[in-house]
Every structure is written in C-alpha cells, then in structure tokens.
Structure 1
Amino acid sequence: MQTDSFVQKGAAAKLAIPFSGAPKDFYFLLLPKATMLPVAAAIEPLRIANQVTNTELYRWYTMSEDGAPVTCSNGMTVTPDLALGQLQQDAEVFVCSGVEPQHAAGEPTINWLRREHRFGRRLGGICTGAFALAQAGLLRGQEFTLHWENQPGFSEMFPDLNPSPNIYEISSNLVTCGGGNAATDMMLNLIQERHGKKLAIIVADMCLHVRSGGQMAPQKSNYAVAIGSRNQRLLTALQLMQEAIEDPLSIIELCDQLDISRRQLERLFSRYLDQSPMQVYSDMRLSHAYGLMNETAMSVTEIALASGFNSATHFSRLFKRKFGASPHFFRKGWV
C-alpha cells in the first residue's frame, strides 16, 4: 500500500494534533468467510483520524495466511496486502473471522499467532476471531468477547473460557469486539487512548456513529426493548429462562422464583408475547440448539441435552417443526 493513501483530503476542517511520533500500524488478518462489516468498521476510523488531522497517525494492512485472496461471508473477495510474516515491533494484529469460525484458522495461522504472542505482540479478535485465539491457547485468564450469536458454540468448544457479553474488551495485550459496529466503538476507544477525546469525537461524528457509552455496553438489546414492555416480572422470567437453558426450570419453579401464580405468569406471556411461558422457553432452547448445530461438531443427542431436552426424539420433532427439517438433515446440509 502506498504511503500517500493513508492520508486523504476531506471537506471537514482540520484538527491540529501535536504529534511527532511514528504512525501506529494495524494488521487485519482475514480468515475465510470473515465478516466484512466489522473489518471496514475498524479500518475507517483510522482512515478518518488521518484525514481530519492531515497526519499519518495510523497505517493499516490486510493479511491472509498465504497472501491469497479471501472470500468473505457475503461472497465478496478481498485481495490482502501481504501473507503472514514478520511485522514491525509495535504493530497490532486483529484476527478477523465470521461464519463457521471453528474451521477458519489453519495450522500455520495458529502457530503464527502463538509465535507473535511469545514475541509480546498485542493481539485482537474481531467478530469471531476469538475462536482462532482460543485454538492458539491465548485466551486463558483473559477478558475477551466475540459476537453474541457465536458464544454458545464457543462455550461448548472451550468450556473453560468465558466470553464477555460486552461489545468490546480492551486490556494491555488483548483487544476483542463482538463484530459489526462494535468494531468502530473499539477503535474509537483506541484512538482516544492515543490521541485524546476530541479526536475520537470528531471521528465518531464523521462516521455518523453514536458511541455506545463504553466497553461495558451489552451486545444485544435488552428484553424490554425487544418485547416493548418494561414489566419487571416478565423481564425477570425471560432472564431466568435464558440463564437455565441446559437445565430448564419447570413452570412451578419459575413461579416460585417470581413469587406469582401460574395463572398470573401465563397471563403476562399471553398479553405481551401471545405465547405460553413454555412455548417461549422451548423456542429459546431450540434457538440455542440451532446455533450449536451450525457451529459445533456435537452429535444431535449432545445438542439435545445441552439445550435442555432429555429425549433426542422429542428434540428432533420440535426442531423439525420450528426449522422445517430434522436435525440430521439440517446437519448434512440438505436444507
């Protein structure tokens, strides 16, 4: 990439930043089927920071395992700048993954990440990049996150690792985000750390991006937003269900914890969700199973148990009713 491409002209008034150091280099390692949105969302704040200061504060490069083009999850192909190799000492690397992350990183990539970690490299993961970092053994004892959709499958593959529900996590040697626009929030935080709040605000405005309020912001909308209700008992019931997928609570246990009658609970769900409590609970568990079906090599029986179904036959029947195919046909890709 040519040096002059890192600083582009723009119409916005320039911000004077007193800075005389070397540019900060970021490398984005694209794995097969990487999600393009968070990669662009991470790079654009760097480009804009250079543009609004008319200074080469940042440089960015894309990589693939062997330097060959990478097909992203949307079918578009990206030709990277370089293959895996030796980098500048203070450069940072983000592993960018997306669909089917458990199969995305090859052995050369895993070994390269381990080597970079031994050299003291600050590493990161975007969207589902945490899968490769976990396969390299680099997440133990770390605060990290990945896209909420992929967290159940990740937890089944790596039961000793506990991803955060936050949109991003930043520590001294690890930077991860859940994908999408969370990558912009994460990079704005890094820009603010290095060059101050004023630049971060201007870059956010140029991106037409409303900042989340910090890394503690959750990835998913809360239940109140999702269902359009702030009824505390209903929200608590949904939260209790979500926290007990593998070992489901009975309706009696739910009522006991909520201190309401079964009739009151059923009225709440009927009024706001137009379903019974157990129908909603079953859908939650089937959605959990759907994720495991896509992202793990677990057997149908194992997935049934992990989703709170004691009978694989009963689970298969409900799965087919909801998703239009039995788990076995779904797993074989016949749908």
Structure 2
Amino acid sequence: MDRKAKTTTPGSPLERPSAAGRSNLRRYAFVLLPGFSSLSLQAMWEPLQWAHSYVAVERHRNWLVSLDGRAVPTNSGIRQAVDCSLDDLAEVDAVVIIGGEDLQEPLAERLKSWLYHCRSQGWMIGAVDYGVVAMAQMGLLDGYSVTANLRYRHYLTEAFPHLSIENSLFEIDRDRFTCAGGVAGLDLVLEMIATDMGGDVADICLNHFNQDRRRAGHEPQRLPFEQGVNSASRKLKRAMAIIQDNLEEELTSDELADLVGSSRRQLERLFRRFLGKSPMAYRQELRLWRGRDLVLSTPMSITQVAFASGFSSNSHFSSRFKLLFGMSPREARLSGKRQPPMIRTIESGSSASL
C-alpha cells in the first residue's frame, strides 16, 4: 500500500537544515577567568552546542579554555574543567572572555599578549561580565560601541570616558562584541546562531530553551528597582530612560514632563503608582546605585565618587548612601560586600531584602 509523504513543520526533527556551508560556521573559544559566572557561561554555551548538534556539526567545534589549562573556580566556588590552555588552543574564529574579577596581574599580562595575537589573526573578540572591563583596560575596545553590566558600566564611564558605552543587552561592532552577562548571553548567542546558521535555527533554539522571543541587542538593561513597570505607560518608561541617561543633569520635574509630553502632576502620579517615589527620588536612587558601584569597583576617593555620582557634597552623598544601603560608603568599601543585605526606599524608609 502506498504511503502518503509525511508533512513536516518548520523545525521538525524530520526536516533538519541543510549541511551546506557548515565549514563557514564560526568556532568559538570561551576563555574563563577566575570567579566567572557559570550562568553567563551556560547561557551562551548550551544554546550554541545545541544548535551545532541540531545542524549535525561536530560537537567539539567550541572549546572551554583557561589561562593555564587548569580547572577554573566560578563565583560560587564550583571548579569548571576546561579543554585546554591558551597556548594549546587550536585555531578558532571567535574568542569570548567570561570574567571573573579575580584576575591577577601576571595572568592579566599573559591574557593581554594572547588577545593581541588573536587580533592579529583576525579573530572576533568578545567579552561578558567583568571580561568587558579587562578588555577595556587592555585597550581592545577603543573605537567600538560597548555595553557592560550596570555594576561595571559606571566604572567604565569614569575610567574610559572615550569609550562609547551603551545601556544595552549586547553590542556587536565589527570584530568586537560585548554583553551585559546573565541571561543576556542567550540573546547574544541567538543573534550569533542566526548569523551563522539562519534565523530559523535560532528560533527553533529559542523554543527549545522555552523562551518566548529573541531580545534585540539594543534593548535596555533592567535596573535593580524597575520591577513592576512592564505594564506602565510609555511616558513613564521614557522619563525613566531620560533620567538614567542624564544623571549629571539637574532636570526639574517640569522639564522632565515637557520632554515626555506630560504634565508634571500626571508624571508624578505615574512614578508614585509604579515606583512608589517621585521622579527626583528615583533619580537620587539611581545616583546612589552609581555611587555604590564606584565605591566597590574603583580606587576613587569617596569625595570623588560623590561628585561623579551627581552629589554636591561628600556629607550629603554619605548620609543618603547610608539611608539606602544601611552602611556608609567607607564601610561598604571596607566590607567588600557587593550585595548589601538590606536596601531601603528613600521616601518610605521601609526595608526589603535583595
């Protein structure tokens, strides 16, 4: 009895992408720095491995690499085995630096020398998390559009004012790419999969990992206290973005309302409804979070941090800092805590665990 030909839907296992052009797929090396985030690694590694397997490309096209070939500790203390050291790595097409804030000076110099060799070979070079800071310090991001996680972006803005630093999930600029880390790594790698293997493969990968959409690189990162504004009006979101992009400016509520096409009273109602604070209190919290990042990640004096964060005096900055984070800037620096156990909203004085 004749059987009817089976019909397939896009992405069905019965209809795999053509193997043609496999040799043009990029080969990636993930260089792990001590203290790296395993989430940032897996958000990129697993989708990439799955996509290569889906199009029947050999699984060992991508490599995990450490500076010396030894296992690398993550930020949670787990040791991640690797395939090889920098010196033993075969030719690849793209290098991804996953940082790690525990990079010591001798190893940093070795990594810098190796990355300059990568550049001379024409390989793409990218970074995630603290890797972006390391690349900036090595001069490998000059002249490129860059993004970084919020906790590093403020330091980069102060230390490298010539860099074009965006508030985005990821940036791909010619032979450089940077990513904010965390689940944004999935968005970056889906863009790479779409480029290497086609948008259909990227969409199938998206479904496989139970994500509803591919976020564009230019979409903004979320700030620590922006939860609950997804359903807010466009005017509120626009006002929040203007404040974030102009922290040094002393915009009044009236000026802000004019910029978003709203009345001052309407805009203040929106801020209080969705954020529980006025526009000016929201700006002050942003400035304090910026100051906290500078306190924890730079050698700047507290006075320098205060002025860089938009405060007119050290005493005002320190008092508001302690009100929000439960400790003074100096105490925060001495303790080395990156996540204070409690934060307080400036207007209400209530506490909430992070």
Deviations 1:132-174 (A, max 9, x none): 2212211111123222342112211211112222322224412
Question: Matched residue of 1:144: which SS?
Answer: strand
| Higher mean displacement: 137-146 or 256-265 | 256-265
1:317 alignment partner, one of 319, 324, 349 = 319
Count how many residue pairs are aligned between Structure 1 and Structure 2.
324
- Which of residues 107, 131, 134 is equivalent to 1:132? 134
Higher relative contact order at CA 8 Å, sep ≥6: structure 1 or structure 2? 1
Residue pairs, 1:32-181, within 5 angstroms:
32-56=34-58, 59-85=61-87, 87-99=89-101, 106-181=108-183
Please list every run of 5 or more consecutive structure 2 residues that lacks an aligned counterpart in the other structure.
1-11, 338-354
Q: Which residue does the alignment assign to 2:233? A: 230
C-alpha deviation, 1:51, in angstroms: 2.8
The one-letter code matched in structure 2 to 1:42 is M
Does structure 1 conserve the Cα–Cα contact (< 8 Å) formed by 2:95 and 2:126? yes
Query: How do 1:172-211 residues align onto structure 2 when only pairs under 5 Å count?
Result: 172-211=174-213
Q: Which moved more, 1:116-125 or 1:85-94?
A: 85-94
Distance 1:265 1:129 in 2: 39
The correspondence for 2:30, drawn from 28, 31, 37, is 28
Partners of 2:21 and 2:91 in 1: CA distance: 18
- Structure 1 stretch 215-224 or stretch 77-86: which is displaced more? 215-224
**Residues 190-239 of structure 1: CA distance to partner in whole angstroms, max 9, x if unpaired?**
2222222332222222222333243333333896962742162x444433
The secondary structure found in structure 1 opposite 2:75 is coil
Over 3 Å counting, the alpha-carbon distance change for 1:277 and 1:32 in structure 2 is same
Give, as a single letter, the amino acid of the residue that structure 2 aligns with 1:17: S
| Cα RMSD (Å) | 3.2
Deviation at 1:333, TM superposition (A): 1.1
Distance 1:304 1:100, change over 3 A: farther
- Identity over aligned pairs, percent: 31
State which of 296, 299, 303 in structure 1 corresponds to 2:298.
296
Does the Cα contact within 8 Å between 1:27 and 1:63 map onto a contact in 2? Answer: yes
1:326, 1:300 → 2: CA distance?
A: 10
Kept in 1: contact 2:145–2:163 (CA 8 A): no
- Work out the CA distance in 2 between the residues paired with 1:262 and 1:323: 29
Contact 2:70 2:82 in 1 (8 A): yes
- In the superposition, the TM-score normalised over structure 1's length comes to 0.83
After TM superposition, give the deviation of residue 270 of structure 1 in Å.
Answer: 3.7
Gaps of 5+ in 1: 1-10
CA distance in 2, matches of 1:108, 1:180: 26
Identify the range of structure 1 (162-171 vs 318-327) with the bigger mean alpha-carbon deviation: 162-171
Distance in 2 between residues matched to 1:231 and 1:193, nearest whole Å: 32
Distance 2:198 2:169 in 1: 21
Q: Distance in 2 between matches of 1:257 and 1:199?
A: 42
- Mapped partners of 1:172, 1:257: distance in 2: 34
Q: Structure 1's 193 and 57: CA in aligned 2 closer, same or farther, altered over 3 A? A: farther
